[in-house]
Structure 1
C-alpha cells in the first residue's frame, strides 16, 4: 500500500477520492476550496493499493482552521475519513490513515488529534477512532467529540454551541461551504425545489473557517433552517426537501 498526499499541483491527477470525475462541477468546487485552504493547513491523503486503486482518504487541518464548531489549540482536527469498501475497512485501512495523521502531528509537535463523529449521516462513527486510542471529551446533539492526547498536559478541545444563532434565521435559509463537494448539487436541488413551491430560500455561502465555527449547525458546513429551527445539518435530496415543504405547508 501507499499513501499519496494530494496537493494543488497534483489534484487533477490524483482527484479528490469522493469525486473522481475531474470534469464534474462537484470536483471543480471542491478543488477550488481545497487549493485556497491548502495554505491554511488543510491536507488530504489517499490510500492506494499496489495496483493504484484508491482504498480510502482522510482530510485534516489544524484545529484553529477547522471548518466545524470546535475550539482548541495546537491540535490536529480530522475533517473527514472514508474507506468505501467494508472489506477494506476490516483490513485496518482506516487505522492506517489515522496513524499517518498522528505521525504528522507528532512531527509538528502538536498536542493531540481530535475528530467529530456521529451515528448519523455524513460522519464517521467512533469505532475506528476508539481502536486508535481516542476518547470522548464532549457531546452535543448527535455529535461526539473524540480526542487523542499526544501531550499528557494537553487541554481538551470543546464543541461550540451552534444553537445560539439559530433563532436569527427566520424564514427559509440554506448555509453551505464547498468543503464537501456534494453541497453544490444540494444547493441547486433545494433552490429549484423552493422555486417550485414559491418559497424564498435564502442561500448563504460559508467562506471561512471562522464562519463555519459560528454556523448554526453541528456539521458546520451545511445547515437548512426554517424560522429559527435547524431542519437538516447535512445534504438532503430534492425529494426529501419537497416532503419537508409539504409538511410545513400543512401546519
Structure 2
C-alpha cells in the first residue's frame, strides 16, 4: 500500500482518517479540514496510508504548533495513529521513519511529542516512543510528559512553558479548553456544555482560536483540557455519557 500526503489541492477530497465519518460528522470534519488548511500553509505535514482508515502522522515545526512548548529547531508530532486491522503491520514505524527523514532534510534538530506517564487516550504512546529512542524532556502536572528524539547529542531539549506546568487555573466550576485540531471536539465540546447547562452545573467553554492563545494555554494538551474548580481533570474527549459519570464523581 502507498502513502499519501495531504496538500491544499487534495485536502477537500481526501479522507482525514479520524473516527468520525464524513457523512455522520460533516461539520466536525469540515472544521478539522479548515484548521488543517491554515496549518499546511505553515508547514504542517499530514501523511497517511492511502486507505479509508486511521493510519497517519501529523507534524509541524514546533514554533507553529498549538502547544505551550518551547524549543528551537524541533518538529512537533501532533498525532501518530494506527488502528484497527492496520495495527501490527509496521505502518507506524514507516510513518515515523518518513517523519524523521523529512525533518532531517528540513534541517530540524529533532522531534518531540506530547505523551504521558502511562498510555492515555489521545496522547502518544510513551512505551512505543521510548522504544523508538525518545527521551523525557520535561514533565507537567498531573501526568504529562514531553518526549523528544534529538538527531544529535548535546542540543538543548524542548520544554513546557511555565503556564502549563502545574495543571491549575484561577476559575471555579467546570472549564473546558479546546481547539479544532481534533474533529471530535467540535461535536462533543458544545454537547457537554449544553448538558451542563441543562443540569444547572457551572460550565465555561473556551475555544482556542489561534496559535498565540494555544502557546499560552494552561495545559499541554490544547486540543481538549477539562478543569474543575481550578484543577486539571482530564484530556480525554468526553461523550455525554462519560461526562455524566464524571459529574457524579465530583
Q: 1:186, 1:155 → 2: CA distance?
A: 38
2:17–2:52 Cα contact (<8 Å) kept: no
What is aligned with 1:150?
151
Structure 1 gap segments, 5+ residues each: none
Q: 2:174, 2:143 → 1: CA distance?
A: 23
1:99 aligns to 2:101 (yes or no)? no
Q: 1:100, 1:157 → 2: CA distance?
A: 21
Residues paired across the two proteins, number: 244
Q: 2:138, 2:100 → 1: CA distance?
A: 21
Task: Map Cα deviations across residues 68-89 of structure 1 (whole Å, 9 max, x no partner).
Answer: 232111110101010013x633
**Aligned-partner SS, 1:13:** coil
Q: Measure how far apart 1:225 and its partner are.
A: 1.8
Q: 1:97, 1:76 → 2: CA distance?
A: 14
1:170 aligns to 2:172 (yes or no)? yes
What is aligned with 2:80?
81
After superposition, residues 36-115 of structure 1 pair within 5 angstroms as: 36-48=38-50, 52=51, 54=53, 56-85=55-84, 88-115=86-113
TM-score (norm 2): 0.88
Q: What is the root-mean-square deviation in Å for CA atoms of aligned residues?
A: 2.1
Q: After superposing the two structures, state which structure 1 stretch, 12-21 or 106-115, moved more.
A: 12-21
Q: After superposing the two structures, state which structure 1 stretch, 163-172 or 52-61, moved more.
A: 163-172
1:223–1:230 Cα contact (<8 Å) kept: yes
Q: After superposing the two structures, state which structure 1 stretch, 103-112 or 153-162, moved more.
A: 153-162
1:19–1:27 Cα contact (<8 Å) kept: no
- Of 146, 170, 188, 2:190 maps to 188
Q: Measure how far apart 1:163 and its partner are.
A: 4.7
1:217–1:233 Cα contact (<8 Å) kept: no
What is aligned with 1:223?
225
Q: Measure how far apart 1:203 and its partner are.
A: 1.6
Q: Measure how far apart 1:155 and its partner are.
A: 1.2
Q: Measure how far apart 1:201 and its partner are.
A: 2.0
1:112–1:154 Cα contact (<8 Å) kept: no
Q: Measure how far apart 1:114 and its partner are.
A: 1.0
Task: Map Cα deviations across residues 92-151 of structure 1 (whole Å, 9 max, x no partner).
Answer: 211100111111111111111111223111112123323332222222332222211123
Q: 2:10, 2:20 → 1: CA distance?
A: 13
1:13 aligns to 2:13 (yes or no)? yes
2:69–2:220 Cα contact (<8 Å) kept: no
Q: 1:9, 1:180 → 2: CA distance?
A: 21
1:189 to 1:197, Cα distance in 2 relative to 1, 3 A: same
1:164 to 1:146, Cα distance in 2 relative to 1, 3 A: closer
